[in-house]
Structure 1
């Protein structure tokens, strides 16, 4: 036993063994040979059937008999693997030109398995014989089989480039191959052209071979991908189903009659039906598979009022109605796996054909010369027939007769053998003429064969002639349509969403819920579900096609398609928005905007704690990818975003600081910047911080509400606040009292028709009417304290908590003149407003006035321009 021990490191043993295994499966299992396009198992199946005479000229034979023959003589593997390979060779939806003609159930395009091999029968197809023709003339190298009992071919002669015609797929150790089928006639034409023009370019070859030709037809898009594949062996094309849209009285119908290569039709139909059942897209009524023996047909019925092209585009994107095919042309060349382009494949095939024709010519030449030699002997023997007969009769036996003929008449061994075996009837005068004629024919054949062997041009002429002959036998029309450009598929996502009126709630901590009107109405006396220290800050009456923008303190915003929000009840806490969009723990939501259309001429105004402001067009906030927060303001250092306002482009802005300063000026002084810009200085807040920004119409009678942390409120008419320079500190609008300093926590504009909502530090909600608070001038202190509120956490408007319990119908509030940030129907209202022409903005001095002729513009005035108090 000690003599049998292997003293080697395990990694060396495993490496050496796995290396041998890998070499075997690369060379002799999974990858096709570039010369005949066959894997070993396929080659052995064809050879076994050919050797047994199981051709199309004879009756079918049981598949089990062929499988047993292959396993017993050539391929010592499982019967299932051999039968599966045999079945694939017979499937006309997998092979462009099937090599096996099978009778019985050989599977289906729905991936149904074939019947057991004891039930099916098979024989070689006519075109398969073109791969095997010439095997009996020593055209290829033969090798011993696994038990050294007989020989098998290492490659087939192959009268056409099968590797391109039928393609191949396979996975081995470290290598994989994906070669699509191509058109039989086009491949032969390209091969002939390459033989005639060895130095031709790829562009020249592509005049003949246009691209892949799948047995399932369909449409291939992307000439650039085909060119790359033909040039390098790698390339990507788009394969799209062939469809027809039919308009009927009550519906539109999408009819699919060709699908991409190697797509499981049953799975495709199932996937489309799942989309219908899950209502991923609105409009699909029914999906039916109407395929029969005459051809493939899948019918998708679509609602009459649905956008049928949009539905089709969605199916292209989300099912195998369209898929990518990636060329990966790896084949065995000189016993090595090689990535090859079209020209290298054709050159390898042509080189193989040169070798095959040369070997065949040598075989035929030897045979012809041998026959010529015998005929010469027979003719000579007949010319001295009496002497030859006398010599044979005088001999003791056959051997002695041969010896005597060689000695007396100088015949060779082969000639003597032919003479003694000659039948008496061959001695007639007619047969002598036939021998002379055969001699002349053989002489001409020998001259022709020598010419083929001596002249490379003549050899190539023979190859071209045989390729043309093969092409003429089989007519294989192109099935796949080739298009140069990849058609851009655009999906209008709005059309895919089922419009539905709903309610959206947003809390300060970022919990966003979608609530159905039915659930909302049923929860009239139910407490809103939230965390203990969270606050409901927005209730939007919305639609599933709307979008929600959530702004965070880190200068980011979250783009939330409302139809993707999960539905909860009013009393449920719901989920944090991070389940949809990953948000860091230190990132808090400060404002939300409901968007019905990004095409409106509106602007988002952003303000940071350090006084930076920026104005960005609303359309820039629309994105297609929204899996993470998107930058909307580039903040520096410890700065953070504190407030957001929305304007029409012709409004005034007011920024309020924590210490009671306010800067009021036209929004036109703020440049319109890109979404990732840092902004410009909007107010000087040295030792202070901004708490709010609001937009207002110059002619409005709105007031500014200030709320302090100690529970005080101050209401100021906007008309009483002087305008300021953009970069100044602004105007002090609250008189400071050292004995009772007040820090402002909320500042926003309000009209007397609105309600005011205050959340105190105990998270108790208080509601007040704005008109019940008296207005004061800017030179007064906080005088009035909010009744029942000791410490204020934040203030909200009626526009925020606008939805009334039991309300199910969503109506635009077009009667409102002021466009508020938090208004649920904000963009409905904005769409109703006239948009004025933009004019040059003028900075206001200390005194300002609103020109009645131009109610939305600021006018520069002097003291002399001010008339009576009434005016």
Structure 2
């Protein structure tokens, strides 16, 4: 055969598909998912079986873990030693497994996430309850299959004399499937199995009278009976797991929070570190110190509070923002009939009962066969002793053992098995007492055979055996329930006013997105210097606010950031602060356009949004109070290439003024815009000419007395009273604000409200900035093109205008 003929021409996707399919089947069936019958993954089953075979059981001394690992990978599990040892360690960790299957001497890790010592340092043996999983395995109770090199056989499943899948739970991720089954209480699970054996049509509600819900080795409190019921019914469901806490008084009139149990699978060290970080970052006020006082007597985390702290408020905040409370999602997937299945409680119990029927049937058949064999032999021995002299004569007259056996078979009709027992009988057994013993044994064998035959012929008797043996296991191993089950999920309400100390701070936010809060002391120490920021950046807000206030930061894309002042990065006045991208998602091409400090989200205040293409939207301010704000939120729906140019806070009875680039201004009543939802797009605010766009939208509180300042790209600035305009209605073109010029007409860059002490910063193309005090400007009419207060001959046209943020440095 030529070299070329050894290659197959196959499409790559077929080859990869085939190989991945085989790999997936292996991962699902033979690695990551537990068997519904014994609740074990293959590696766990192999470890337990290898230890059992070596006699490494609970009543014998511990053996080096490395010996077991070597035995497992040499005989049953042809994978890395670390995967075997890690599985072995997990089965010994009493904070992960409800009833440990392996007892380990030495460091087997900790609830703080510390790793176990290497396998050469630790010793292990099977726990007493693990032996119940393997009991009767030698009686042909389960199917065996060849190991990876066909040298010995290993069990496909263990006899599992108690429902281990529910008792110890399981977790795993395979190809296309994942499983999360929490541990449950041994006694409750056995009671539920017994109930289902007695009544196969038992309802889920009846089962839930005995099996209340998960019972984690770490205790804690589980909330949400509805979630447990859904999980038991469908295999999927969500419950809340929270730590067991206590508020206690200590000397000096102070309080402390004591945590004695934490949620399942939570790393205690990380939890303590996270709580301490909240204290250091001042995310929550009132925590004086966090200590981990856990010792050999039990878990104890102490959160010491300051004298004025509100303990319930602090605890509610910690439940919401740390792993003191987590959600646990049931996903009960197990291998049943060689297929991964999402199984409810009744389904899992049915699979277990079917397995036990098979195990007890096979065991009874094995014991019956042995009893029948022994009965046959005992009958032969009794008959032999009754004719002892003849038997001895025949044996003495025979040439050898085989000849003696043949002679006994021929002359007295003994069978092969009986004659073998007779010729191997020891002389001391020929005493009178031994005949009595044999007769007694014969009677016991008769009873045993009748009992075993009864089990095999009656399903009721078989089920009674299963129930009786499970009851014995329950009596021997069941302990007190550790997890408390509560019917309802408690809603956590955090009163931030209680949590956050009311403190006045200086807050700055810049156009580029840098924000900070500084203490008034740091601000005063700066001697009126401008806050720290880049040369090319500018302030959007520099104001004294309270830590209980909230900032709403609006962007040109119709999004907003909800930022409580206390969550802003604390920095010195001279520092730049932290970029908002570190706190929320922030696109590079998105720009902040308006920062609004809010003391209270009331229903009698509204936000009005103005877009470049003339849309206006009005929504209640209270709609923008966010519960979750770790990302950018939608403020209004912006269509196509449109963008938000201005946002105004109104009372609901203000007037509205919209100004356009071509110099049109429209004045109308705020009530013309209907109130819509937070995510709506709004209505047409002004009717634009082709090529025109909105540059500014303002709310007028003083209505008839308001003055407007208009700035054009040619550096012309003019001030005019609102009464220069006729009040109109929404969606009109508006009135001109400038005299039209045939060549180089003025184009409006911005229109701002004039206030007596207000000043505007006007920026030109080359970056130079001119400050204009609006209080000193004289009023002009609509057809006046204003005064050229900004020289653009060298610096280029005006590109941007903003209200000057006054700090001590530029008050003069």
Scaled to the shorter chain, the TM-score interval is 0.7 to 0.9
Alignment of 1:531-610 (within 5 A): 539-543=542-546, 545-550=548-553, 559=562, 582=586, 585=589, 591-599=594-602, 601-607=604-610
Structure 1 residues 139-195: Cα deviation after superposition (integer angstroms, max 9, x where no partner):
234455566665544433221122222223345566554332221111211222222
What aligned pairs does 1:236-255 form with structure 2 within 5 A after superposition? 236-248=238-250, 249=252, 251-255=254-258
Separation (CA, whole Å) in 2 of partners of 1:575 and 1:439: 90
Distance 1:346 1:656, change over 3 A: closer
Query: Contact 2:506 / 2:523 at 8 angstroms: preserved in 1?
Result: no
Q: Deviations over 1:18-63 (max 9, x none)?
A: 7766665655554433332334443344344434444333444444
CA offset at residue 647 of structure 1? 3.1
User: How far off is 1:97 after superposition?
Assistant: 1.4
Distance in structure 1 (CA, Å) of the matches to 2:29 and 2:200: 29
Task: Tell me if 1:374 matches 2:377.
Answer: yes
Moved more, 711-720 or 197-206: 711-720
| Secondary structure at 2:808 match in 1 | coil
User: Which residue is equivalent to 1:186?
Assistant: 188
Distance 2:737 2:18 in 1: 86
Q: Describe how 1:443-458 pairs up with structure 2 within 5 A.
A: 443-458=446-461
Q: Are 2:499 and 1:459 equivalent residues in the alignment? A: no
What is the aligned partner in structure 2 of residue 522 from structure 1? 526
Provide the C-alpha distance between the structure 2 equivalents of 1:490 and 1:115, rounded to a whole number of angstroms: 43
Mapped partners of 2:718, 2:337: distance in 1: 91
Quick one: structure 1 residues 471 and 805, their matched pair in 2 at CA, closer, same or farther if it must change by over 3 Å?
A: same
Structure 2 SS opposite 1:353: helix
Q: Distance in 2 between matches of 1:320 and 1:573?
A: 32
Q: Residue deviations 1:85-119, cap 9 Å, x none? A: 44333322222112233334333222334445555
1:661-708 per-position Cα deviation (integer Å, ceiling 9, x unaligned): 766565445443444555556666768876655444569855455556
- Contact 1:656/1:692 (8 A) holds in 2: yes
> Is the Cα–Cα contact under 8 Å of residues 531 and 573 in structure 1 kept in the other structure?
no
Structure-2 separation of matches of 1:377 and 1:41: 47
In structure 2, the CA distance between the partners of 1:200 and 1:540, relative to structure 1 (3 Å rule), is same
Alpha-carbon distance in 1 for matches of 2:461, 2:6? 59
- Structure-1-length-normalised TM-score: 0.77
Query: Once the 2 structures are TM-superposed, how far is the Cα of residue 608 of structure 1 from its aligned partner?
Result: 5.6
Using the alignment, how far apart are the partners of 1:154 and 1:581 within structure 2?
51
Q: Which moved more, 1:494-503 or 1:323-332?
A: 494-503
Q: Show the counterpart of 1:269.
A: 272
Counterpart in the other structure of 2:197: 195
The answer as to whether partners of 2:540 and 2:595 remain within 8 angstroms in 1 is no
- Check if 1:135 corresponds to 2:140: no
Q: Is the CA contact (8 Å cut-off) linking 1:555 and 1:631 kept in structure 2?
A: yes
- Give, in whole Å, the separation in 2 of the partners of 1:237 and 1:387: 79
Cα pair distance change 1:281/1:420, threshold 3 Å: same
Structure 2 match to 1:848: none
Match of 1:103 among 94, 105, 118: 105
Is the CA contact (8 Å cut-off) linking 1:513 and 1:568 kept in structure 2? Answer: no
In the alignment, the residues of structure 1 paired with residue 510 and residue 467 of structure 2 have an alpha-carbon distance, to the nearest angstrom, of 77
Tell me if the contact between 1:92 and 1:98 (Cα under 8 Å) persists in the aligned partners.
yes
Alignment of 1:5-404 (within 5 A): 7-8=7-8, 26-67=28-69, 69-70=71-72, 74=76, 80-117=82-119, 119-143=121-145, 152-171=154-173, 176-248=178-250, 249=252, 251-404=254-407
User: 2:258–2:301: 8 Å Cα contact kept in structure 1?
Assistant: yes
Per-residue displacement from partner, 1:198-222 (whole Å, max 9, x unpaired)? 2334444333322222211122334
Distance of aligned partners of 1:663 and 1:103 in 2 relative to their CA distance in 1, 3 Å threshold? closer
Looking at structure 1, the residues matched to 150 and 730 of structure 2 have their Cα atoms a distance apart, in angstroms, of 97
Q: Is the 8 A contact 1:634 1:676 kept in 2?
A: no
2:275 and 2:290 in contact (8 A); partners too: yes
Structure 2 residue matching 1:361: 3-state secondary structure? helix
Residues 672/60 of structure 1: CA separation in 2 closer, same or farther (3 Å cut): closer
Q: How does 1:732-747 map to 2 (within 5 A)?
A: 747=751
**Residues 172, 601 of structure 1: alpha-carbon distance in 2 compared, 3 angstrom cutoff:** closer
Residue ranges of structure 1 left out of the alignment (5+ in a row): 808-871
Q: Partners in 1 of 2:18 and 2:674 — Cα distance?
A: 71
Aligned to 2:506: 502
- Residue 630 of structure 1 corresponds to 634
Q: Is the Cα contact below 8 Å between 2:516 and 2:578 reproduced in 1?
A: no
In structure 2, the CA distance between the partners of 1:260 and 1:713, relative to structure 1 (3 Å rule), is closer
Q: Distance in 1 between matches of 2:532 and 2:138?
A: 89
The answer to whether the 8 A contact 1:760-1:790 is kept is no
1:765 aligns with 2:770: yes
Q: TM-score, normalised by structure 2?
A: 0.82
Deviations 1:404-442 (A, max 9, x none): 333333222333333444456655555444433333332
* C-alpha spacing 1:654/1:448, structure 2 compared with 1 (3 Å): closer
Answering whether residue 805 of structure 2 is matched by residue 804 of structure 1, we say no
Q: How does 1:454-493 map to 2 (within 5 A)?
A: 454-491=457-494
- Contact 2:634-2:678 at 8 Å conserved across structures: no
Change (3 A) 1:276 1:766: closer
1:824 aligns to what?
Answer: none
Tell which deviates more after alignment, 223-232 or 562-571: 562-571
Contact 2:225-2:488 at 8 Å conserved across structures: yes
Contact kept? 1:544, 1:563, Cα under 8 Å: yes
Is the Cα–Cα contact under 8 Å of residues 541 and 803 in structure 1 kept in the other structure? no
Give the Cα separation in 1 of the matches to 2:253 and 2:404: 98
Encode CA deviations 1:740-767: one digit per residue, 9 max, x unaligned. 987665555545x434446374744234
Return the alpha-carbon distance in structure 2 between the equivalents of residues 722 and 269 of structure 1. Answer: 65
Report if aligned partners of 2:283, 2:567 keep a CA contact under 8 Å in 1.
no
Q: Provide the rounded CA distance (Å) in 2 between the counterparts of 1:737 and 1:604.
A: 36
Q: 1:84 to 1:671 in 2, by over 3 A?
A: closer
CA separation of 1:740 and 1:264: change in aligned 2, threshold 3 A? closer
Secondary structure at 2:222 match in 1: strand
CA contact (8 A) 1:652 1:695 kept: yes
In the alignment, does 2:620 pair up with 1:617? yes
Provide structure 2 residue ranges, at least 5 long, that are not aligned to the other structure. none
2-side partners of 1:120 and 1:359: how far apart? Answer: 38
Q: Which moved more, 1:514-523 or 1:149-158?
A: 514-523
Q: Tell whether the 8 Å contact from 2:517 to 2:568 is kept in structure 1 after alignment.
A: no
Distance 1:437 1:146, change over 3 A: same
Structure 1, 101-110 or 722-731: larger mean CA deviation = 722-731
1:284 Cα deviation from its structure 2 partner: 3.1
Q: Is the 8 A contact 2:709 2:774 kept in 1?
A: no
SS across alignment from 1:157: coil
Q: How far, CA to CA, are the matches of 1:625 and 1:728 in structure 2?
A: 38
SS at structure 2 position matched to 1:169: strand
- Give secondary structure in 1 for the equivalent of 2:128: coil
3-state SS of the aligned residue for 1:379? helix
Distance 1:573 1:504, change over 3 A: closer
Deviations 1:374-422 (A, max 9, x none): 3333333444445445544554554444333333332223333334444
3-state secondary structure, aligned to 1:93: coil
CA distance 1:370–1:309, shift in 2 (3 Å): same
> What SS is found at the alignment partner of 1:672?
coil
Q: Which residue of 1 is the match for residue 439 of structure 2?
A: 436
